[in-house]
Structure 1
Amino acid sequence: MHAIDENGRAVILNEDGSWQFDNSKEWRVVRTYMGDSATKKTDLFQITYPQWRVRVSTEDSVSIYWYEPESGNEDSLISLGSPTTDESYVYLKGTFYLDISISRGKYRIVVEEKVPAE
Structure 2
Amino acid sequence: MEIYQAKLMVLHAAYLIDSGADFKSEVSMAKHFVANMLGRVIDRSIQVHGALGYSTDTPLAHMFQHARWARFADGADEIHQMRIAQRTIGAYRDHGSTRTATGNLPI
The higher radius of gyration belongs to: 2
- With the shorter chain as reference, the TM-score category is under 0.3
Greater relative contact order structure (CA < 8 Å, 6+ sep): 1
Give the TM-score, by structure 1 length. Answer: 0.22
Question: 1 or 2, which has the higher helix percentage?
Answer: 2
Question: 1 or 2, which has the higher strand percentage?
Answer: 1
Give the TM-score, by structure 2 length. Answer: 0.23
